[in-house]
Amino acid sequence: MLHTGLTDIELISKVLQGEQALFAQLVERYQNYVFTLVLRFTDSREDAEEISQDIFVKAYRSLADFRGESKFSTWLYTIVRTSCITFLRKKRLDITSLDNERTFLQLENQESGFKANTIEQKSRHAMVNKAIRLLSPDDAQLITLFYKGEQSLEEIGRVMGLEPNTVKVKLHRARHRLKEKMEKYFSHEVREIQGE
Amino acid sequence: MIMDTPIQIEERLWDYIDGLSSPAEQSAIEALLAENLEWQRKYKELLNIHQEMQETELDAPSMRFSKNVMEEIARLQVAPATKTYINKNVIRSIGAFFLAMIAGFLVYCLGQFKWSASGSSSTFLPRYDLDLDTKMRAFNWGKIFSSGYTTVFMLVLVILALVMLDMYLQRKKHQTT
């Protein structure tokens, strides 16, 4: 694949002019970002790949609606979110709250699974990723958007329909819960990180 | 001086790490970090987590992912922008119609109140016409729904619905061909 070094806006403009093949560059640029965000909603890589593919197809179909007022990644996230919610609705899972008994039970099961396999978790990065997956989808997405999507609090607020200050509070809480999960399930690795 | 709770310390430190603190707050935190061991320990702990999260790599889909997407979109076209086929005047007209209906209904309801103040009381509360229920019950609704006007109205609605269905199916046919 020839990487032309074009910006997102330039690529989109060319795709809209009929150069469909250039869309592959946008896919390659954002496939990991989209795939990771989708994995925050589902544990199955197969499902995540199918949803991610569907997200890029939707993005292509509605590319003319991208007005360039926000980053392409921000606009793409709105499609990620709606697609994931639709997917979860189909699976009859309530993603809105950790209070939901089924979600909580699912997480508890995941947690016990991770605890049993702590020996395999050598990599610190893998540990952080696994700890993020123990969070609720909303917390996990928020952390991923902030750290990996390079989205500001304002941008996250715009796509989530929240005030930047509310996003900030939610981010604090998400990180606090992440820290708790890390301390609870990966205490050995956490001590390594802390250099103790 | 009021002591911060551990949660408050964390929140202030996260703001400091994210660069969201005001200059005054930054100086205050730097002073605390210089002299307070508890703050130093917490700062180190949060900073390590922050760095780990920044360095964490994103998950990657299968090698064929972008090829699969490109194969999928090869038989598709970019849809026209929503603003090109949504006529704002139609939306405004529908909005105006519903607003007029709500306003008409409100005016009718308010018309059912008797706005006279009773006796020398200074309270001015509308009095509901208690006789309205009896009047409503006595009203012959069957007369309205069996009248010629209603039949014509229903016919117009059915014709409109058929026309809209036809337009929708035509558009679908165009899209598939």
Residues A27-40 pLDDT 10s: 999 999 999 999 98
Q: Which residue of chain A comes nearest to B13, CA vs CA? A: A172
Burial group, residue B41, by CB count within 10 angstroms (0-12, 13-18, 19+): exposed
Highest mean pLDDT among A53-67, A145-159, B160-174: A53-67
Which of B47, B65, B72, B77 would you mutate first to test chain A, the one with the most A CBs within 10 A?
B65
Comma-separated ranges of CATH 1.10.10.10 domains in chain A: 101-194
Say if B81 is an interface residue toward chain A (CB within 8 Å): yes
Q: How many CB pairs under 8 A join A and B?
A: 111
Gyration radius of chain A over CA positions: 18
Q: Which residue of chain A comes nearest to B67, CA vs CA? A: A24
Q: Indicate the domain borders of chain B.
A: 6-55, 82-117+127-176
Q: Which residues of A touch B41 (CB under 8 A)?
A: none
Say yes or no: domain A101-194 is CATH 1.10.10.10.
Answer: yes
Say if B24 is an interface residue toward chain A (CB within 8 Å): no
Cα(B44)–Cα(A195) distance, integer angstroms: 10
Comma-separated ranges of CATH 1.10.1740.10 domains in chain A: 8-90
Residue B25 has what pLDDT?
A: 92
Highest mean pLDDT among A12-26, A101-115, A148-162, B143-157: A12-26
What's this model's pTM, rounded to 2 decimal places? 0.65
Structure tokens given for B15: 């703001």
Name the fold adopted by A8-90. Answer: Rna Polymerase Sigma Factor; Chain: A (1.10.1740)
Q: Which residues of A touch B12 (CB under 8 A)?
A: none
Give every residue of chain B whose pLDDT is below 70, as ranges: 1-2, 113-133, 135-136, 138-147, 175-177
